[in-house]
Structure 1
Amino acid sequence: MLAIINDDLAGAGRPESIFISWLLWQPRGVDLASEALKEVQKLARYEKVDPDIARLKALFASLAGSDRSMH
């Protein structure tokens, strides 16, 4: 998982930028929904710590096929 760093003027630490970077690094033919669900599970324990993490988790949840809160 990539660290969220907010000191980049280009926005590289924003949840959307991290999400796009993650998408671009996925191997060809991978099941993106399945991989996104794994990221949701990794981020679940940190979402109450930082609103950016909660936003990133929501992006992965959307790709995984669920916009509802996932545990």
Structure 2
Amino acid sequence: MFAFTETKPSGTAEPEAVFISWLLWQPRGADLAAEALKEVQKLARYKGADPHIARLRALFASLAGADGPVH
């Protein structure tokens, strides 16, 4: 049996936890850089909205190989 140790609601996960979960759910052989770039583009609409979103976007941009801001 599994025990849940997270006490926060699921919508309040830290950016690093979301990023790791996303990585673990990628299919074997996936182009992680290309998939990360898709996530960066999805998160772009939340520009300046929340520091957690900005951090998550930066994590994906880093994986995508972005040297600077990704548009």
**TM-score interval (norm. to shorter):** 0.7 to 0.9
Q: Which runs of 5+ in 1 are unaligned?
A: 1-6
Superposed structure 1 runs of 4+ greater than 4 Å apart: none
Give the match for residue 62 of structure 1. 62
Alignment RMSD, CA only? 1.7
Answer 1 or 2: higher relative contact order, Cα 8 Å, separation at least 6.
2
Moved more, 45-54 or 31-40: 45-54
| Percentage of matched positions with identical amino acids | 70
TM-score of the superposition, structure 1-length normalised?
Answer: 0.82
The structure that is helix-richer by fraction is 2
Q: List per-residue Cα deviations over 1:26-59 (Å, max 9, x = no partner).
A: 0000000000000000001103110100000000
Structure 2 counterpart of 1:42, which letter? K
Deviation of 1:69 after TM superposition, in Å, equals 1.0
